[in-house]
Amino acid sequence: MEQRLKEIRQHVLDQLKEVRETAGLEQIRVSALGKKGDLTGILRSMGSVPADQRPKIGQMVNDVRQTLESAIEARQKELRRAEKELRLKSEAIDVTMPRPERSAGSLHPMNIALEKMIEVFVGMGYEVVEGPEVEFDHYNFELLNIPKNHPARDAQDTFYVDDNIVLRTHTSPVQARIMTTRKPPIRIICPGRVYRADEADATHSPVFHQMEGLVIDENITMGDLKGTLDEFARQMFGQGISTRFRPSFFPFTEPSAEVDLTCANCRGEGCRMCKGTGWIEVLGAGMVNPHVLEMCGIDPKKYSGFAFGMGVERMALLKYNIPNLRYLYENDLRFLTQYR
């Protein structure tokens, strides 16, 4: 029996060395110390042990039990610690790991250009005003000195909603609306969408954006217009960029001018972008026609003013050196997200 006890003890101690998980440990414990375990079996068979040897054997059984219990407990502690370490390792968060790419939206290049344009004029004391895109013929044409059957109506390829209502062909009707409702001094810009029945190509779209400017006060001159647009050109495109006025015609301004900007690409040297001229045509402008002032209820003997209208897309193309209007409308994120 002594021999058997030693065997049991050694067997369990060997098993403890082998076991790698706390779950297996429990099995070892049950098979040695459990109700049907080896050690319990020995206690059961104590009856067959001669009476004088029983205390000694009993003592030995207890010793072995104690030895095994503490060995199991020690091993359990070891295994638990190892298992915990493993778990912590697998759950560990590496705070130095780069985060996954998170895409933030970016402004459309045309909006960036428009915001800059607005910022420049607001900085000069202008107020931003908006008007309807579906407009009365009256504001889009009549009050701007473009009567019915005037040839200028053809040039603008108008979308008519009915005889009296059009999709506005320019932002100038907002001038007319403001002049008929406010008293000078007036200093406004009017950005917005405009419509023309144009075929879409590299520089044309049936829907595009303009920004109108209007100043009316006493003693406003063409010099004020020139100075204002020069300052705008400088702030928008940088030092060394100015404007050149060429005589032109608009029914609502007199005199009228086509205004060019120094080509920002070659700074006036002449390049492909400006077709060798050093200048790029960007806007229409002029002194508000006295007849328009009068129709809108402003006394042309007391007041004078200037107006200008520029394409927003055109400004964006120039500012970012974008070769084709199409890029602005295709919504290709690879293109759009380059501009911030």
> Which among 8-16, 25-33, 125-133, 306-314 is the span making contact with ligand PHE, rule CB under 6 A?
306-314
> Which among 68-76, 102-110, 122-130, 282-290 is the span making contact with ligand PHE, rule CB under 6 A?
282-290
Q: How far apart are CA 166 and CA 136, in angstroms?
A: 6
Q: How far apart are CA 224 and CA 204, in angstroms?
A: 31
Phi, psi of 77 (to 5 degrees): -60, -45
**Per CB under 6 A, 172 contacts ligand PHE:** yes
Q: CB count, 10 Å around CB of 289?
A: 21
19 or 257: CB nearest ligand PHE:
257
**Per CB under 6 A, 308 contacts ligand PHE:** yes
**Per CB under 6 A, 253 contacts ligand PHE:** yes
38 or 308: CB nearest ligand PHE:
308
Residues in the chain: 340
**Per CB under 6 A, 284 contacts ligand PHE:** yes
Q: What tokens does 302 get?
A: 């007391």
Helix pair 312-320, 222-237: axis angle to 10 deg: 40
Distance of closest approach, residue 308 Cβ to ligand PHE, in angstroms: 5
**Per CB under 6 A, 28 contacts ligand PHE:** no
Q: What tokens does 145 get?
A: 């000195």
**Per CB under 6 A, 251 contacts ligand PHE:** no
> Which residue, among 264, 282, 240, has the nearest Cα to 321 in the 3D structure?
264
**Per CB under 6 A, 309 contacts ligand PHE:** yes
Residues of 49-74 as b/e, b for ≥16 C-beta within 10 angstroms? Answer: eeeeeeeebeebbeebbeebeebbee
**Per CB under 6 A, 307 contacts ligand PHE:** yes
* Residues 151-170 as x/- pattern, contact with ligand PHE by CB under 6 A: -------------------x
> Which among 87-95, 234-242, 268-276, 301-309 is the span making contact with ligand PHE, rule CB under 6 A?
301-309
Report which secondary-structure segment, H or E, holds 304: strand 304-311
**Per CB under 6 A, 289 contacts ligand PHE:** no
Q: How far apart are CA 260 and CA 284, in angstroms?
A: 9
Distance of closest approach, residue 206 Cβ to ligand PHE, in angstroms: 14
| Near ligand PHE by CB under 6 A: residue from 285, 293, 317, 328 | 285
* Residues 206-235 as x/- pattern, contact with ligand PHE by CB under 6 A: ------x-----------------------
Judged by DSSP in three states, 186 sits in strand
**Per CB under 6 A, 140 contacts ligand PHE:** no
Alpha helix (H) residue ranges in the chain: 2-18, 22-33, 38-44, 54-91, 109-123, 137-140, 152-155, 172-181, 222-237, 290-295, 312-320, 326-329, 333-336
Return residues touching ligand PHE (CB under 6 A): 170, 172, 212, 250, 253, 284-286, 307-309
